[in-house]
């Protein structure tokens, strides 16, 4: 089993040189987390996983108190993935001045769109706790899942712009057999909701299939699948890989967020929307008919 530590001093006592990889989590670990850890295992000499349910990324009325906490099962998952050290700090270690009085990281304009528009304080809390974990662990590389794609982009931006010296790696989404993206919040889904939740991945697949027909076709195809199942998304959007405007012929990201019953689910997929020829007949060889 991995060694469990609570403080930076405990971590320092375990350091023996070599490179360090970090996988930050809030616990309630599933197969997706295990894949993140196994990916990180190959990147460094020592693998640290953190388990900390971060209060500052939950707005009032969100599920901080109800968020699943399963430490014993989580440690078994960490052991399965080859984790050397689990950092499980208390709130006072992460926020010595208290969560309400701490220095914070402003996510900037990119933190105000998509998830940030609906959860205005969320990314400030995420970036703040990740910066603190980077300071506690001092990793060479940190691995995050692509399911929370906006989060991944913002953490990369923070690490680069604040010169934190951490390489931030993304790991592909791990899915259930029916395509549903694995998430700790999936435990909130009732049987009927669980069946309906797979519509998000079906919508993304429809968008990917429509990519040869251009940007608008991607969105139209994905939206049609959601509409047919009666799911109204909080957002369904196509961006470039850095969450800017998509460019035909270049890597893009199709993102969706929607409530299926009570749980709010996120999903996304990478694709390349093809440029659409505005004058297809004009470019055909002479003598080629319609």
C-alpha distances in Å from residue 114, one per residue of 24, 51, 129, 134:
22, 26, 20, 25
Other beta carbons within 10 angstroms of residue 123's beta carbon come to 25
Q: Which residue has the tokens 């069946």?
A: 195
Q: Which residues pair with 235 in a beta bridge?
A: 257
CA dist 53 to 14, 26, 65, 286, 287, Å? 23, 5, 9, 66, 67
Contact yes or no for 137/25 (Cβ under 8 A): no
Whether 140 contacts 167, CB under 8 Å:
yes
Annotated catalytic residues are 33
Quickly count: other Cβ atoms within 10 Å of residue 249's Cβ: 11
Bridge partners, residue 145, by sequence: 171
79, 2 in Cβ contact below 8 A?
A: yes
Lookup result for tokens 């850095």: 242
């Amino acid at each position: 089993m991995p060694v469990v530590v609570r403080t930076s001093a405990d971590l320092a006592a375990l350091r023996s040189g070599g490179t360090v990889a970090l996988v930050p989590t809030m616990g309630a670990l599933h197969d997706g987390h295990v894949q993140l850890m196994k990916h990180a295992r190959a990147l460094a000499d020592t693998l640290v996983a953190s388990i900390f349910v971060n209060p500052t990324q939950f707005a009032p009325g969100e599920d901080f108190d109800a968020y699943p906490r399963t430490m014993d099962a989580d440690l078994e998952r960490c052991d399965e993935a080859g984790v050397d050290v689990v950092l499980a700090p208390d709130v006072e270690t992460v926020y010595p001045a208290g969560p309400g009085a701490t220095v914070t990281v402003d996510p900037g304009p990119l933190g105000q769109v998509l998830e940030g528009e609906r959860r205005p304080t969320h990314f400030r809390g995420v970036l703040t706790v990740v910066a603190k974990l980077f300071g506690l662990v001092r990793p060479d590389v940190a691995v995050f899942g692509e399911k929370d794609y906006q989060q991944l982009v913002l953490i990369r931006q923070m690490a680069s712009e604040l010169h934190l010296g951490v390489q931030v790696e993304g790991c592909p989404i791990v899915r259930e057999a029916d395509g549903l993206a694995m998430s700790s919040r999936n435990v909130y889904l009732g049987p009927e909701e669980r069946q309906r939740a797979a519509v998000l991945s079906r919508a993304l697949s429809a968008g990917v299939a429509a990519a040869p027909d251009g940007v608008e076709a991607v969105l139209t195809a994905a939206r049609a699948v959601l509409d047919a199942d009666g799911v109204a998304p909080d957002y369904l959007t196509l961006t470039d890989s850095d969450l800017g405007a998509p460019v035909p012929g270049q890597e893009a990201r199709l993102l969706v967020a929607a409530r299926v019953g009570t749980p709010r689910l996120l999903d996304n997929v990478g694709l390349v929307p093809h440029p659409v020829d505005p004058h297809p007949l004009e470019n055909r060889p002479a003598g080629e008919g319609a």
